[in-house]
Amino acid sequence: MTSEIEAQAGSLPRTTAISADVILAALPDPVLVIDADDSIHWVNPAAEQFFGAGSSSLRGSSLASLVTADSPLVALVAMVRKHGTGLADHGVEVAGPRLGSHRVDVRVSPVLEAPGSLVVSVRPRSIAESMDRQLSYRGAARSVMGIARLLAHEVKNPLSGISGAAQLLEQNCSEPDRELTRLIRQETDRICALIDQMDQFGEEGTVQVRPVNIHEVLGHVRKLAQGGFGRHVRFTERYDPSLPPAAADRNGLIQVFLNLVKNACEAAPESGGDVVLTTAYRHGVRVNVPGTRERMSLPLEISVADNGPGVSEEMRAHLFDAFVSSKPGGTGLGLALVAKVVRDLRGVVEFESEPRRTIFRVRLPIYTHEEARPSRANDEARASRATDDSRAYRATQVGDNRHG
């Protein structure tokens, strides 16, 4: 019996040898090798994407040309050369002229077989941190839902009675008094409209997921912006034309990106304001779905960037909280609505900000046949689309909690 097993094992094909370059090229994290003079010797594809340049231009260039002179990465490399042992640093800010600013974990290790050479591995923290934020957003969203339901049921009923009584009074009063009754009706209508906006947080029904062309949604939003609040801004579109459709709700995405683009336009300076809309496909981006064992793939990345003053430090931790705003007269519901809609679509919204560079990124799943949900008939969907577009535009008047 033993001889038969050995004979079968001997007939199996040997495992093909895999080079180190192939293994490193498959890693999703940026990896680069630097020589004794801190010039770049080798990079993997993830590093090319991270630094925004191809391997041919990166090789031979100095590390100092990619990051700022006071970068923690430069200091960590110097420490490894001094002590001759590998070191790691977590949550450091790495910035440079090409890559912007990123919070990352960095590990630098010496190559024993090549004295003077170091291996630098970088792990961006944006996905992990954004998922942590999503957990806190869920709790905030649930509390807002409870408030919204209370207001919708308990406040709108007496408001309807007040409006009806004002109409009755208006029939039997003088013209000066009619001005007062009309004012009462206008104010009750305004409060009801605000309650309707807040009631959006209480909608927990199943999202009707359909294949959505992201570029069509962004084009629609850009046209609305250019016709109103974004007239002073120069729009730049950097789209990946091969992007597959997103598993989403078109009207929900319009609400999301109208709010984000409106915020960006208001943050951009009156003169020289720039808003950049970008789409990309990010391979290997998978996140755990909170409360389950499921892992979601979120390869679609849609970014809205502006060259405004940035988000203040004190606002960053509460940016997506409802009723928190640094804008005079702001309700603080705009970004809270964005967080809720993206959460309902099983996506992630995150941001990074510094002076003259603020980027909001929305990550979404692609549409597959498994993503289909029971939906209304196509003719009902087409009939509702026109009214939904206008309702989505009105949602932008909710306000935001980014800028004062």
Homologous superfamily in CATH for domain 2-124: PAS domain (3.30.450.20)
Residue 381 has pLDDT above 80, yes or no: no
d(Cα 391, Cα 240) in Å, to the nearest integer?
A: 29
In 90-247, where does DSSP find H-type helix?
Answer: 126-154, 156-171, 175-199, 214-226
Higher pLDDT, 1 or 106: 106
d(Cα 312, Cα 404) in Å, to the nearest integer?
A: 10
At 146, the pLDDT band (50, 70, 90 cuts) reads low
Instruction: At 310, list the tokens.
Output: 């940035």
The total of other beta-carbon atoms located within 10 Å of residue 209's CB is 20
Query: Tens digit of pLDDT for each residue in 290-310?
Result: 555 566 788 999 999 999 998
Beta bridge partners of 302: 279, 362
Contact 226, 264 (CB under 8 A): no
Contact 108, 76 (CB under 8 A): yes
Residue 193 has pLDDT above 80, yes or no: no
Residue 156 has pLDDT above 80, yes or no: no
Contact 226, 179 (CB under 8 A): no
Question: How would DSSP label each residue in 193-215?
Answer: HHHHHHHGGG--SPP--EEE-HH
The pTM score is 0.55
Tell me the range of 1-10, 23-32, 129-138 where mean pLDDT is highest: 23-32
Query: Tens digit of pLDDT for each residue in 64-110?
Result: 888 888 888 999 999 999 988 899 887 777 888 777 777 788 999 99
The per-residue pLDDT for 129 is 58
CATH topology of domain 205-398: Heat Shock Protein 90 (3.30.565)
The per-residue pLDDT for 4 is 42
Of the candidates 51, 127, 113, 118, the residue with the CA atom closest to the CA atom of residue 84: 118
Of the candidates 314, 281, 278, 313, the residue with the CA atom closest to the CA atom of residue 298: 281
d(Cα 9, Cα 310) in Å, to the nearest integer?
A: 63
d(Cα 224, Cα 247) in Å, to the nearest integer?
A: 23
Share of the chain above pLDDT 70, in %: 70
